[in-house]
Each structure stands twice: as structure tokens, then as C-alpha cells.
Chains A and B, each alone.
Chain A
Amino acid sequence: MAESTSLPFVPSRGGAVALRWLLFAVLALFALFYLMPLFVMITTSLKSLDEIRTGSLVALPESVTFEAWTTAWSSACSGIQCEGLRPYFWNSVALTVPAVALSTLLGAVNGYIIAQWRFRGANLIFSLMLFGCFIPFQVVLLPMARTLGFIGVAGTIPGLILVHVIYGIGFTTLFFRNYYVTIPVELVKAAKVDGAGFFRIFWSIFMPLSLPILMVTVIWQFTQIWNDFLFGVSFSQAGTQPVTVALNNIVNSTTGVKEYNVNMAAAIIAAFPTLFVYAVAGKYFIRGLTAGSVKG
């Protein structure tokens, strides 16, 4: 016992358990606090308008109804059109999937070149791309609008894809470059001696190594592009708007009574895909961000 008294603080066994439970309680409290808005959104979306008016904000619905969800999906009005989020949701899918795929692929190739095929000025180009990550998007709205008009894709989904690919390349290149720079250059040398060319080395050796960073990039790009509002509202027109813009229109343009349940359901629908992607690929996200050298 003499030994243990010399230590500054040794909680008894019971004390350690109590401390642990206190920790859990505090963490749970924070988690609950953080989940509160989601809780309110979900419960509100399942209530009828009457119940929302009369009941408490945090109360559970007395009778669950999915009416607000079907309205939000297929018949909510934004301005004069009452077709719900559905067409805009598919606009977002048609826009996000190719934009994510293209920007990720280009970032991978860029990163591969900058990290493994060093050439004169490689660092300068990388610095410029990095700089591109920090340009405020508001600055480029006008020039971009002119450019899109000039090449004839203004107000179209391909135009939006182009915008997102261009502004995604900076980040995707950064991710892939930092990942590939940890791979020993001798790997490329060995493959060259084996007779493989630039793309063969990329596909056969680097791509199979890239799953973690691929996941990071896909999640990042998907979240950015799906959630984008500024480009969506600036470079789309009636019929090509992404879901974020449609959500705003539905929530802001209702005349008369605010349909909170419909708005909540619409917001959840609009946010669902990013949640889904993170849930499916999230474990790779952490792993990819911390993954480093590849031991040959």
C-alpha cells in the first residue's frame, strides 16, 4: 500500500467505474444535443399540419403520417410548378455522379503525375492547383457564366458538371498527390523496366493501391457537389436545377400557410444521399485520411 500512496492519484476500482460512467453520460448528453435538430426534423415531418400547430415542437407525433413525404417528393409547389423534389433530385444525381467520377479520376491522374513523374515545374503547378482550392467561389461566378455561355452549355447539366469538375480538381489532386508521394519511386522504375507504360503503371499498380484515398475523395466530392447551392442557383435554369435549389424554392416560395412538415421531409430527402454515402464508405474515410506509406 505504501507504493500506491506515493502516486498522485489512484482512484479505487469503484471510483474508476463511476468516472467512466460520468464520461459516458457527458458524451451521451452532447450526442443528444447534436441530434436534436434531426429529431425535430423527423418527428415534424411525420406530423400533420394541425398537430404541428397545436402540439409541442419536441413532442412525438400522435398519429404518424407520411403525407408530407409524398407531398415533398412529388407534389410540393415551388412557384407555379407543383412537381415536388423528384425531378430536381434526379437532376442532382445526373449532375453529381459524373462530376464526382470525372473530378476524382482527373485528380488521381494529376496526383500520380505530380508525385511520381516529376517534371520541371511540377511543384509550381501543384502550388497553383492548391491555390485553386482557396479561391472564393463568388469571385468566379461572372467569368464562369461568360465561359459557359461561350462554349454553349449555360443553364445545362453538362455545364454544371464542367463547373464542379474544374473546381473539384484542386482538392482531388491534393488528396491523391499526398497519398502517392508516400509510395516509393522505385515502384515506377521497376514497372518501367518490366515494360509497362504510363497508363499501365497507373491502372495496374497505383489504382489498386488507392482504395482508401479514392473513398476519401469520393465522399468529399460527393458531399461538396451534392450540397452545392451557389453554382446550382447561378448556372441552372428552370428544369435543370439541382435539389438544393429546388428545396430552397419550395421552402421560400409557399404562399399562405407554412407547411413545416413538408419542408422538413424535403430537407431530409435532399440531405439523404450524402448521409448514405458516408454511412457506406465512412470507415474508409478515417482510414484513408490516416493511411500513409505503402510497405513494399
Chain B
Amino acid sequence: MEAMLEIRHLDKNYGATEILKDVNVSAEPGDFLVLVGPSGCGKSTLLNCIAGLESISGGSMHIGGRDMTHVSPKDRNIAMVFQSYALYPTMSVAGNITFGMKVRGVDAATRARKLQDVARQLQIEQLLDRRPSQLSGGQRQRVAMGRALVRDPQLFLFDEPLSNLDAKLRVEMRLEIKRLHHNLGATMVYVTHDQIEAMTLATKIVVLKDGVVQQTGSPAEIYRRPANLFVADFMGSPAMNLIPARASREGSSTSLQIEQADGAPVVLTDIGNGDLPEDVILGLRPEDIVEAGFRSGHHVHDVACRIDMVEPAGADTFVVFRLGGRQVTARLQSDTTARQGSTLDLAFDLDRASYFSPDTGERLN
């Protein structure tokens, strides 16, 4: 199947400042592609480049199989939803939604029909005569989506569309966007700094940092097998535990020695990963450290840990302890007996372990 969006070796400079460096991204038809990264990583610039609102300094861009590298936004067959919604303040909701069609010379009957379709879909039929200033944040968001939907484009672009909404509404709209994507089967590119949004919405995630793609993959791949320390730390909440360790080979397995502030070092044995260098950083998700007895297998090791902090979070309880000079978080069941200051046996599931090089930050296994 031909890619709906294909970006090859894209560079973007402002004068001498490199904003994006050799970015390669592609999306198949029906993909929900999420560009995620901390602020200033270039993700919004990349989206503007896809929209044609920013020119690119190098590389090429194809949308729907056509070379769009130097095509103006209006001819790219895209629609975009902005963070500030960017509704036209003097036009009614209906005027906002139909402006694009009016500009393109669509006849009045078609405009009215499409307007009604979209209004029904987004449940904003009763708002059509209002001005943007008379709408709530959530309603504005819907109108902005309506303006994009009515165009029926090849590619939908979303620039942090939920970041101006309160937490509850954000979760609601997130679900709605997901449903929309499912119903339309459209290709969408979505920018966010919120890794939870990225995980829940995406079929494919691109993690960006300082204008460089760190990793591209499905949410599960990104979560389970982060390509480097940055991705490991950025994706997931609470973040992945990154524990410095000393690896030594024992046959086909590896012995991991982790320093403790008081007492002898902890020694774990990973029966796989026999080819690690001496210095590694062990990455374990909080849910891969559980209370002893709750997980079993060859990869699971019990370690007695002194609990520094207990954080009940409703469905789970997080406990924090120190290992290898770092704070380590484990996700326990909500009715755990762990108490601050007590010592608890915790099971480390090394089947899920990631190893990183402390020097380059790259993944080793």
C-alpha cells in the first residue's frame, strides 16, 4: 500500500539554527501518527512543514503519492486543527465551518448539506448561529474539528488540540478524536507533548528531541522497547526506572550487580542478554517490579528493599525506594501492606528489562 504521507530526509533551518535534522516519517492510509516530544523539539514545526505553512530547507514530502514539497497549503488537500482553535472571530459557527468551501467555490446547496452532516456528527447543530466568543472551550474545539472534517481531506493535522482544555474535557475529547479516527478511517497526524495522549491515540508514534527523530514505532514498541534513554524516560508515567548496574557474563546469562547505599550490592541474574558490556543502565517499568509472589518465572528475582515512600493512587499503590543511587518506583496492588520505612520483598521481572549504554544512551538489547 502506498504511503499517505512520506517525508524523506527533511531539514528545516532558521538561518543558522537547525530546527529539524534529517527527519524521515511515513504514514500509511488510516494511520494515526503522533509526533511527541518535549517543548522545543520541533514537532509543531514539522507539522507546519507538512501543512506547507513553513517551507522546508531540504528533503522531500509526498502526500497521497504526490510530491508536495513546494506546493502551497491550499493545494495539499489537508485540514488542520490548531491549539488556539483559530476560529474566525467575526463569523458564526456555520460561517467558520463553510468558509473553506466558500473560498473554493463550492455551491450553496452542497455547503449546507455538508454543514448539516458535520454538525450532526459533532453534535453542534444548536450552535451554528453563534459567534466563537459565545462558545465554551470544548465547543470551540468541536467547531475547529468541524471545520477540518467538512473538508474531507486526505490528511488531518492536529496541533496540540487538547492542551487548552481542562483535564476532564481533555479525556473526553481524546476519546472522541479516537472514535472519529475509527469511524472515518482517515489518516491523521497529531502533535502533542503529552505522552499519555500519544500512547492512547496513536497507531504509530514518532518521538522527537532537538529536531531529531529518536524512535518511530507502535505505542507498544515504544513503551516496551525504547530505543534510548531519552525515550525510556519520556514515555510512560511514572517514568521507567533507570538503574546503573555492572554486568558480568556467566555462561549464556548475565549477572547484574547494583550498588546500594547501605549493605551489600544487590545481584540479579538475567538468563538472557549474555553479551552486555560491563557498564549498563538497567531499565525497568514500575509495573515490572511487583510485590514478591505476584509474578513468577525464570526471569523473576526477589530483592528485599527498604521502602522510602508510599503513594496510593487508587487503582495502584506506588512505592519508592533507593537502588544503585537512584530513586526506583514500583507499582504494587492497591491493598499492599507496604509501609514507609518497612522492608519488603519485591520481584524484579527481568524478562521485560531494557539495557542502555551509559555513554551513548542507546539501547543494548
Contacts and interface: CB of A to CB of B under 8 A. Distances in A.
Contacts of A197: 74
Contact of B84 (A184, A195, A200): A184
Which of B89, B104, B132, B147 counts the most A-chain CB atoms under 10 A from its CB?
B89
Contact of B80 (A184, A190, A200, A204): A190
Interface residues of A, number: 20
A186 B104 contact: no
Secondary structure class of chain A's binding surface, majority of residues: helix
Contacts of B99: 191, 194, 196, 204
Nearest to A207: B90
Contact of A193 (B79, B83, B87): B79
Contacts of A277: none
Interface string A4-26: 00000000000000000000000
A187 interface: yes
B205 to A, nearest CB: 24
A189 interface: yes
B103 A196 contact: yes
Contacts of A295: 89, 132-133
Given A200-B103, A294-B89, A295-B89, A192 B74 contact: yes
A205 interface: yes
A194 B100 contact: yes
Interface string B110-153: 00000000000000000000001100000010000001000100
Contacts of B220: none
Contacts of B223: none
Interface in A182-218: 184, 186-187, 189-197, 200, 204-205, 208-209
Nearest to A208: B90
A190 B89 contact: no
B86 A296 contact: yes
A80 to B, nearest CB: 55
B74 A194 contact: yes
A204 B85 CA distance: 18
B326 to A, nearest CB: 42
A209 B89 contact: yes
A296 B87 contact: yes
Contacts of B84: 184, 186, 296
A187 B88 contact: yes
A296 B100 contact: no
A205 B102 CA distance: 13
B82 interface: yes
A208 B92 CA distance: 12
A296 B74 contact: no
Contacts of B52: 192
Nearest to A185: B86
Nearest to A190: B86
Given A184-B84, A192-B53, A194-B103, A296 B79 contact: no
A184 B74 CA distance: 20
Nearest to B54: A189
Interface in B68-88: 72-74, 78-80, 82-88
A205 B88 CA distance: 7
B51 interface: yes
A296 B85 contact: yes
B89 A195 contact: no
Contacts of A193: 51, 53, 73-74, 78-80, 100
A184 B133 CA distance: 15
A29 B72 CA distance: 64
Contacts of B151: 194
Contacts of A191: 88, 99
Interface string A173-188: 0000000000010110
A200 B79 CA distance: 18
Nearest to B53: A189
A123 B148 CA distance: 34
B82 A190 contact: yes
Interface string A239-266: 0000000000000000000000000000
Interface in A262-296: 294-296
Contacts of A184: 84, 86
Interface string B299-327: 00000000000000000000000000000
Interface string A97-128: 00000000000000000000000000000000
A189 B103 contact: no
Given A191-B88, A208-B90, A186 B83 contact: yes
B89 A296 contact: yes
B73 A205 contact: no
A195 B74 contact: yes
A174 to B, nearest CB: 23
A208 B86 CA distance: 15
A193 B84 CA distance: 15
A284 to B, nearest CB: 16
B255 to A, nearest CB: 56
Given A204-B99, A296-B84, 9 more contacts: A186-B84, A186-B86, A189-B53, A193-B79, A193-B100, A194-B99, A194-B151, A195-B74, A205-B88
A-B complex: 9 closest residue pairs judged by Cβ atoms = A194-B100, A208-B90, A195-B74, A186-B86, A190-B86, A195-B103, A186-B82, A193-B80, A192-B73
Interface of B: 48, 51-53, 72-74, 78-80, 82-91, 99-100, 103-104, 132-133, 140, 147, 151
19 contacts: A184-B84, A186-B82, A186-B86, A187-B86, A190-B87, A190-B88, A192-B53, A193-B51, A193-B74, A194-B100, A194-B103, A195-B74, A197-B74, A200-B103, A205-B88, A209-B90, A294-B89, A296-B85, A296-B132
